[in-house]
Amino acid sequence: MSAAILIVDDSLTVRMDLMETLGAAGLAATTCASLAEARRLLAVDRFPLVILDVLLPDGDGIELLSEIRAAPDASDTAVILLSTEAEVKDRVRGMRTGADEYVGKPYEASYLIARARALMKRNQGVASPAEETILVIDDSITFREALRGALEAASYRVVIAGTGEQGLRMAAELRPAAIIVDGVLPGADGATVIRRIRLDAALRGTPCLLLTGSEDGGAELRALDSGADAFVRKEEDTAIILARLTAMLRSAGTRRGRDVAASLNAPKRILTVDDSETYLQILADALRGAGYEVVLARSGEQALDLLAVQPVDCILLDLLMPGIGGEEACRRIKAAPALRDTPIIMLTALEDRDVMIRGLGAGADDYIAKSSDFEVLRARVLAQMRRRQFEDENRQIREELLRKELEAAEARTAREVAEARAALVEELERKNNELEAFSYSVSHDLRAPLRSIDGFSQALLEDYGEGLDGQAQDYLRRVRAAAQRMGELIDDLLELSRVGRAPLRRQLVDLSTVGHSVIGALQRAEPDRRVNTRIADGLSADGDPGLLRALLENLLGNAWKFTATTASPTIEFAARRDAEDITFIVRDNGVGFDMAFADRLFAPFQRLHTVAEFPGSGIGLATVRRIVDRHGGRVWAESEIGKGAAFFWTLPNPNGGKG
């Protein structure tokens, strides 16, 4: 089985310590002392995680990092650089080269383990523990193993911690379904553990059961005051513990918190900035003792360089430093959008009111004198990180509320737009019906006077034409021709109006038969023309018989008309199946048209040829479009001048069609 972690460090002490630390955490590892050996191991095996020293006897660890990042088969390998804090430029260079993490020596073991687990989970897609994971925190090996057996027999997944601090770290990492904690523990006792969980926005909803061996009657009150959900004495049967646990989990569904920012008890990184090497090391030792990873910077410039490549959870910033001092560094950090929420605690040896006001005025979140007790400093650091976590939680709540408000506003807007569109469509339909009726009425009423003009003009020519001179006769002929032309336009307008007003009578129409009928009528009207016509058999569609006949009369009539000057005129009527619909095609080899004017083709009275060349009113293709639109289809044309034209239309057919 492949080792999970590769450790590359030339120090035998470091390698052995890392092996022991990782092994105790259940993480397998293998070690090597040089770049050459690391390259050999990486060539034959795959490692989810590499812990890599920067300074090695045969080269630079960051060079190996660069090789790992360039290797296609190592794209999911996480890399933690491990080195001394002496060279800030190494940390900056390593992070910019692609390191996932940089941990300084001496490292804090719990931080390193937590980061290693997190990176392996991220890169390998390791699933988080099941929801019914129970964390047991107890320093009694005998009791906790007995409890583990009872819990596992009840189908729970159990993880064990021996101290309160270890339990808090495991709770932050695993997010268990419930925590069972002993009241008396080395370090942080059970009540303290529960209080810290309740102060942690990421964990506060986790049910907690406090155990105690005390016979004191006030023990239960103290347990519940600390925030425990239930209390059980250790001498009671494990069945009681299981029953309490089941009851807690049953009622915890409504209390489980949302997934907010990282837990306060998760590994944290502190940036300490001070030009005093002595104080810097003392401060680092105190913070590492509290379980923090500490990054050291010796000037404001170094601090800004580090923050550009690696985020931190809190900054301890000396007020007075050469170069960029604490005030200016604080202003620059708070001015950066990605950094402004990071808590800054200003440190100074000057216990002066005006100095404190200057520091806070520069944007610092807190101010503390260097002479203060380190316990006070640690408490201040924790308080600032807790404040930031609460702010993050509140921000998430505000963003969620804003998101819901936006969704509600979008839904209201969409509903209002839909209602307005429906009202507009209804109004347009009403106006269109009125216009159609008006157009029909006007067109119908114009026919009678036009007939009179045509009839009396003809009578004048026949009865009195011999008494008129040639110019007068020409005028009368022009009047009659104009009246006849106007009559044709009115007839076409009436036909267009009928198409829009007549109710659809859908039925299965044999288009092949209709096509032959239309072509037959055209041939009877011009018996001397010889046109090659090809009409496919079995063409049918669901539609209005009268309207579909009018459609074919217009399209086949146009094809007949525009092939009049062609040497060997050909007209074709066919179809092709496109997905759910059938596309019908009328194609000819006539004069064609310029596609630059195709958008005008289906508009009323739009003609691409003169009346002298090809007579017509310009209404036919507008009628075709209206017929197709009424059937829920679409129509378009393709052509090239001198090479004919093709007209395509679809008629959505719920019953299917043949082509």
pLDDT at 40: 92
For 264-322, the pLDDT digits (tens) are 677 788 999 998 888 888 888 888 888 788 889 999 999 998 888 888 989 999 888 88
pLDDT at 112: 85
Alpha-carbon distances of 45 from 36, 38, 118, 176, 434, rounded to whole Å: 14, 10, 21, 34, 82
Cα–chain center distance at 228: 40
Tokens of 132: 């019914």
Whole-number Å distance between alpha carbons of 301 and 323: 8
pLDDT at 355: 73
Q: Of all helices (H) and strands (E), which one includes residue 371? A: none
Whole-number Å distance between alpha carbons of 307 and 305: 6
Whole-number Å distance between alpha carbons of 314 and 312: 6
Contact 621, 554 (CB under 8 A): yes
Q: Of all helices (H) and strands (E), which one includes residue 233? A: strand 230-233
Q: What angle (nearest 5°) sits at the alpha carbon of residue 511, between those of residues 509 and 513?
A: 105
Q: What is the dihedral of CA 130, 134, 139, 144, to 10 degrees?
A: -100
**Residues of the chain with confidence (pLDDT) below 50:** 1-2, 126-130, 254-258, 656-659
DSSP three-state, residue 386? helix
* Global confidence as pTM: 0.52
pLDDT at 657: 43
Q: At what angle do helices 353-361 and 326-335 cross, to 10 degrees?
A: 30
Q: What is the dihedral of CA 312, 315, 320, 322, to 10 degrees?
A: 0
pLDDT at 659: 44
Taking residue 420's Cβ as centre, other Cβ atoms within 10 Å add up to 10
Whole-number Å distance between alpha carbons of 599 and 579: 26
**Minimal CA–CA distance to 289: which of 98, 109, 503, 21?**
109
Residues contacting residue 577 through CB under 8 Å, at least 6 positions apart? 583, 659
| Positive or negative torsion for Cα 67, 51, 159, 203 | negative
Cα–chain center distance at 180: 40
User: For tokens 């259940």, what's the residue?
Assistant: 26
Whole-number Å distance between alpha carbons of 289 and 144: 27
